[in-house]
Structure 1
Amino acid sequence: MGSRYDRRMSGGTNACVLGVDIGTTSVKCCLVDTITREVISSQKKDTCSNVPSELGTEGNKQDVPRILSALQLCVSRLPRETMKRVVRVGVCGQMHGCMLWKAGSAWEQKPDSDRFAVNEVSNMYTWQDSRCSQDFLATLPTPHSHLAVSSGFGCATLLWFSKNKPEILTKYDRAGTIHDFLVCMLCDLDQPVMSIHNAASWGFFNTVTKEWNKDVLVGAGLPQELLPKVVDSGKDAGKLPNAWYGIPAGTPVLASLGDLQCSVLPLLNKNTEAVINISTSAQLCFKMPQDYSPAEAPPKTHQPIEYFPFFDGSYLAVAASLNGGNALAAFVRTVQQWSLDLGFQVPQSKIWQRILELGGNVESKSSLEIQPTLFGERHCPGENASATNIDLGNVSLGKVTRALCKGIITNLHSMMPRSLLEENGITSIIGGGSALARNPILLQELEEAYQLPVALDSRGDAAYGSAIAAINAMQK
């Protein structure tokens, strides 16, 4: 494992790893003991990083310096003495999105300082960005990959800029996810190094040959220098050239990973288990047999189930819904706005507390049905949200809340039904994610819809999973 690891094991104190997750709404980091795999310390902070898009509701972008400032604040609050024992860093983040930067001028670590200043970067265009209409996507070439391309995917977003705002691309010469950028910054890399997780989530990447569809992308107008180098998930991207908040110089940093795969990694112990994660969005997945090999081309029409690369050459069968905690958050914002319109100012925390109390009452069940697809779905992007079976008796706040929670689970069940789980030998479900952990109504509806044992596991956390991936990398 190397002399550095051995030295830090001396004195009866175990080495540890740092795990980082850059999520859609928050950042989190944790220190994990390499032997016990227990969390030693963790920090989390909301980023409040959304910025208005020039495209209105069709765009979704975030301020990169604000996100990385929040992350560095979290890291700075971890115990410095423990940080000195970090032997590897694992990083993951929200999949599909992209940002651009200029090599040589995108960041600066001032002398005698841990903190990086971020300059010369674009906004981060998130997985929720919908600037790539179905008409635009139809103009793109067919990928040489089993995964179809949707709006919000990195390559699709970059091709949109190439065709509609080419002046944006001329300002930069590097691109990656925001967690790729973080790794690049930490290791002072000239060229970003991306894991297969993130490359697959960008589109136009063949997970079997482990290569970009370069000819296809360049032919469609994407500058080749914007394509990151790709390595197997779990491999190192580089090393820290300088100490960072106590972590010694020379510490290896993994190429950044997908947050879905990292949230699943600590939970998926048996092939008879499926994992559900409900945070901003929602995913239900299970591991395919080790000999599974994906098709050579995407399906002619988008399917509700896709096959994402996992670790060690394996794949996950995934129903990835765009509607999870974000649909509930939109409902809370609406209730808050109605209150303001009536002349009352109610904090969102109070609204959350009250609707979960009302919706959790057994009398909140009703015939009201809510289709929660406020953000569409990749397999049916034009679908809107709707409510049916409305009557005078089922429009109370509690019953609407209950119907919305049920709708989120019902929508996911329509994508990956119980029968499919049974066909693949799944006998139980492990649950994780902030929305599922905080909302007992979702858990009740999940158990009712799938009629399978469901157990919550707090280890279903992407930051913790990135730390576990770092530990696993050390043991190979």
Structure 2
Amino acid sequence: MVTVRADRYHRLLENGRRMSTSECVLGIDIGTTSVKCCLVDVSSREVISSQKKDTYSDVPSELGTEGSKQDVPRILSALQMCVSRLPREATRKVTRIGVCGQMHGCMLWKHGQAWEQKPDSDRFEIREVSNSYTWQDNRCTQEFLSSLPVPESHLSIASGYGCATLLWFSKNKPEKLTRFNRAGTIHDFLVCMLCGLDRPVMSVQNAASWGFFNTITKKWNEELLQEAGLTSDLLPTVVDSGQEAGQLENSWYGIPAKTPVIASLGDLQCSVLPLLSGNDVAVINISTSAQLCFRMSEDFVPPEQPPSSPQPIEYFPFFDNTYLAVAASLNGGNVLAAFVRTVQQWSLELGFQVPQSKIWQRILALGAEPQSQSSLVVEPTIFGERHSPQENAMVSNIDLGNISLGKVTRGLCKGVITNIHSMSHDPTRETNHKTYEQPTRNLYAQKLGKHILPVSLDSRGDAAYGSALAAINSKAP
């Protein structure tokens, strides 16, 4: 049975602009398809105002479908619009800023020429920067990855990881690296810009997601990277997750200058931070991709080297020197999005134009109907998996009674959740998960996830909210 928590969180979201606040923090999430910010009251830890905007920032890649890059000025313009819409009576009381974003990806910029905040203006203009190369970027083939040294870390390297992308440029397009002298994730860039930093400051969470980073020593594999062709001057400074990176250089949409800004964090860690109430709780997060994760015990120490063969479960830094066990699937909401695009293309081929929004609305309604249950089996791995990049999708047990649009939609959704659940077995951990928490922002997961696992829907599973909580708990440098 699904329990939807209609708690004070929802009421405060609706009435936040009318609330008077004491001290609050700003949480920011730069996602793959949208940006979001929220103001959280420090004492109650409740959201008092929130803004979200789709970025529509994808740009064509010279590598076709193998590349995945986004327009940085467009993304940060959308973010600044969101922040500008927050109530000024609350932003003036912001005491800390927390930032998180899509893990693994990277961008480059030129120090001193990357941004400008004009006098008497809140808005930053973005100038000498590259595109943001996302976690979905597939330019690093298995052959290329195999040519790289084995990391001195328990985490393997994969296409879309920051260090892998930068090494690809060093070998295939070295002129790209000569144009710029700084690198980081797009959320590292945001922190650097807000604080006017000379060099980007990255949290352990983001550094681990880049690859070639030892989470025990908390240092880059500098010698290995230099041997492979990446100079260490492009590597950001790394601090503990939750530590301050700097202070707001100038006032920003009412937020006072000198407000502390914590080093940017991973969106996954921030999404699950409000939800992991115990070691018997696992969190399913379904957005563009999908993850199922749970907290390891405090005495867990990861191995010194990556596994000899890719594994479906990895261990990423969390907070306070603990780790999350993460089964990270490349197949989540993007599977449904691909299905919607296919249905739209079929409609065009039949002579009809149907907006994707209408298709989404209809398939979600059909898939949620009780009669949409069927024996159709969908293995939805159309995008492969990091531990099995050549894996393809498959549909089986087809009969004349289970190929309606609703039943196929239901089969796809069930397949996404079954796939991520099957990846999450951890042989080092005996504790069974009694509860599966699931953020409520994904509509098809809300409606259909309950048919596979005992899911509790929780509105607090939000990366912007989690980054605000991390800011409240942050440490002085």
* Common topology (TM > 0.5): yes
Aligned residue among 87, 90, 112 for 2:120: 112
For the Cα contact (< 8 Å) 1:137–1:150, is it kept in 2?
A: yes
SS of the aligned residue for 1:230 comes to strand
Alpha-carbon distance in 2 for matches of 1:208, 1:403: 42
Aligned to 2:452: 446
Tell me whether 1:309 sits opposite 2:317 in the alignment: yes
Q: What is the distance in 2 between the residues matched to 1:53 and 1:158?
A: 16
- Partner SS state of residue 473, structure 2: helix
Q: d(CA) in 2 for partners of 1:421 and 1:43?
A: 41
Matched, 1:278 2:248: no
Residue of structure 2 aligned with 1:62, choices 53, 60, 70: 70
Paired amino acid for 1:276: I
- Give distance in 2, aligned partners of 1:300 and 1:353: 44
The answer to whether 1:461 aligns with 2:467 is no
1:357-368 alignment runs, 5 A limit: 357-368=365-376
2:169 is aligned with what amino acid? F
8 Å contact kept, 1:402–1:441: no
Report the count of equivalent residues. 458
**Residue 296 of structure 1 pairs with residue 297 of structure 2:** no
**SS of 1:45 mapped into structure 2:** strand
Partner of 2:15: none
CA distance in 2, matches of 1:400, 1:69: 38
Counterpart-to-counterpart distance in 2, 1:440 and 1:317:
23
> Greater CA deviation, 92-101 or 331-340?
331-340
Q: Distance in 1 between matches of 2:82 and 2:155?
A: 35
What amino acid maps onto 1:471 in structure 2? I
Please give the alpha-carbon distance, in whole angstroms, between the structure 1 residues aligned to 2:464 and 2:223: 35
Cα distance change, pair 84–438 in 1 and its aligned pair in 2 (3 A) = farther
What does 1:176-325 correspond to in 2, within 5 Å?
Answer: 176-325=184-333
Q: Shift of residue 323 of structure 1?
A: 0.7
* Aligned: 1:170 with 2:171: no
Letter paired with 1:468:
L
Q: Distance in 1 between matches of 2:428 and 2:374?
A: 28
**1:290-439 matches, cutoff 5 A:** 290-417=298-425, 423-432=430-439, 434-435=441-442, 437-439=443-445
- SS of the aligned residue for 2:98 comes to strand
Question: Percent identity among equivalent residues?
Answer: 71
1:393 Cα deviation after fit = 2.4
Does structure 1 retain, via aligned residues, the 8 Å contact 2:152–2:304? yes
Q: TM-score, normalised by structure 2?
A: 0.93
Q: Does the 8 Å contact 2:417/2:449 carry over to 1?
A: no
How many angstroms apart in 1 are the aligned matches of 2:208 and 2:440?
22
1:138 — aligned with what? Answer: 146
* Contact kept? 1:105, 1:120, Cα under 8 Å: yes
Distance in 1, matches of 2:26 and 2:324, equals 25
Aligned partner letter, 1:62? Q
Tell whether the 8 Å contact from 2:244 to 2:475 is kept in structure 1 after alignment: no
Quick one: distance in 1 between partners of 2:369 and 2:44? 40
Cα distance change, pair 415–13 in 1 and its aligned pair in 2 (3 A)? closer
Question: Matches of 1:420 and 1:414 in 2, distance apart?
Answer: 13
Q: 1:98 to 1:422 in 2, by over 3 A?
A: closer
SS at 1:117 equivalent: strand
The alpha carbon displacement at 1:13 in A equals 4.5
Q: State the Cα distance separating 1:388 from its structure 2 match.
A: 1.9
In 2, are the aligned partners of 1:17 and 1:467 still within 8 Å (CA)?
Answer: yes
1:474 Cα deviation after fit: 6.1
The residue that corresponds to 1:450 in the other structure is none
- Name the structure 1 match of 2:89: 81
Using the size of structure 1 for normalisation, the TM-score is: 0.94
Structure 1 230/433 Cα, relative in aligned 2: closer, same or farther at 3 Å? farther
What letter corresponds to residue 322 of structure 2 in structure 1? S
> Which one-letter code corresponds to 2:72 in the other structure?
V
Deviation at 1:475, TM superposition (A): 9.6
**433 and 322 in structure 1: CA distance in 2 versus 1, 3 angstrom threshold:** farther
Residue 420 of structure 1: how far off its partner (Å): 6.4
Q: CA RMSD in A?
A: 1.6
Cα distance in structure 2, aligned partners of 1:206 and 1:375? 28
- 1:301, CA displacement in angstroms? 0.7
Cα-to-partner distance string for 1:230-279 (whole Å, 9 max, x where unaligned): 00000000001110000000100000000000001011111221111111
AA partner of residue 375 (structure 2): S
Distance in 2 of aligned mates of 1:369 and 1:13: 51
Residue 239 of structure 1 contacts residue 249 of structure 1 at CA under 8 Å; is this kept in 2?
Answer: yes
The more displaced of 333-342 and 205-214 is 333-342
- Residue in 2 that maps onto 1:96: 104
- What's the counterpart of residue 11 of structure 2? none
Partners of 2:473 and 2:329 lie apart in 1 by: 29
The amino acid across from 1:33 in the alignment is D
Matched, 1:23 2:24: no
Deviation string, structure 1 residues 312-362 (Cα, Å, up to 9, x no partner)? 000011101111111111111111121122222222222112111211222
Q: Is the 8 A contact 2:80 2:123 kept in 1?
A: yes
Classify 1:135/1:433 alpha carbon distance in 2 versus 1 (closer, same or farther; 3 Å): farther
Letter in 1 for 2:461: G
Contact 1:196 1:210 survives alignment (8 Å): yes
Which segment drifts farther, 27-36 or 279-288? 279-288
**Structure 1: which 5+ residue stretches go unaligned?**
1-11, 448-452
